Amino acid sequence: MNELPNPTLPLSPVSLPRGSLHRPAADAAAPGPGPVAVAWARHQDEVRQAQRLRFQVFAGEMGARLDTWLPGHDVDLFDDYCEHLLVRETGTGQVIGTYRVLTPAQARRVGSFYSDTEFDLTRLRQLRGRMVELGRSCVHPQHRHGGVILALWGALFEFMVRNRLDTMIGCASIPMLHEGAVSGDMAASIWAQLQRTHLAPIELQVRPRLPLPVERLDASLPVEPPALIKGYLRLGAKVLGAPAWDPDFNTADLPMLMRVGDLPARYHRHFLGG
């Protein structure tokens, strides 16, 4: 197995990830809900397992057109700079859930966050020193019962607190496929709802580089946001602005921001104790 590259900053006795930030001592087999274990990838072959799951979900289910040099894997230039969080079935060892995390130090090395390619993040510049980006979240279709994503979130919040980071951003995707047809109406309708209820203050709002043309779409559909977006909102997340259109992934992407300090008390107790 190929070890991942060395961290870019000095490690403390309990820190192990490539991005030079602390991971829990019990990282190798942190228990999740049910028969799953949560761990940060330590070897390249573990990252490849996450990339295969991503390809299965994004290309196989969502019809994404992935520009990848490795067949059957979702690979892009940001992967080599990210920490990769994995959830495995304890019995089979199969990776059934994943996130990738781009830390401030690694974002500086690669030159930007992935979100910078979809949105003008100028108004977030004061947050970047303690801001991480969450991306490429996916769960195996046979395990979308909530336990896997809760296990991922628990590890993510512990990672944030341990490393004195306070802000998470990312692009939350809404499928363009609705009732068998490719349309932006569902995304426009979800944006219309969330604009009224969960829009961030003006000083944090961002602009899409390739806007979804919401003004030309039907924004009156009685649809609910995808489960992941609803989960983020329950955790106190805010929407930073109108959706961007991602033609390669066949999605509309909402820019979202979540702060550890905004985590509701019951979720704080669940994920972090106290």
Q: List the domains of the chain with CATH numbers.
A: 27-272 (3.40.630.30)
Predicted confidence at residue 19, as pLDDT, reads: 41
Cβ atoms of 172 and 229 within 8 Å: the answer is: yes
Does 230 have pLDDT greater than 80? yes
Intra-chain end-to-end CA distance of the chain, in Å: 39
Does 52 have pLDDT greater than 70? yes
**Once rounded to an integer, what is the mean pLDDT over residues 105-134?**
97
pLDDT digits (tens, 9 = 90+) for 171-224: 999 988 766 667 899 999 999 999 999 999 999 999 999 999 999 999 999 999
**Once rounded to an integer, what is the mean pLDDT over residues 233-260?**
95
Residues 90, 96, 97, 102: what is their CA dihedral angle, to the nearest 10 degrees? Answer: 90
Predicted confidence at residue 35, as pLDDT, reads: 82
Measure the CA–CA gap between 93 and 210, rounded to whole angstroms: 39
Q: Write the DSSP assignment of 44-108 as a string of letters.
A: HHHHHHHHHHHHIIIIIIT------SSTTS---TTGGGSEEEEEEETTT--EEEEEEEE-HHHHH
Predicted confidence at residue 179, as pLDDT, reads: 65
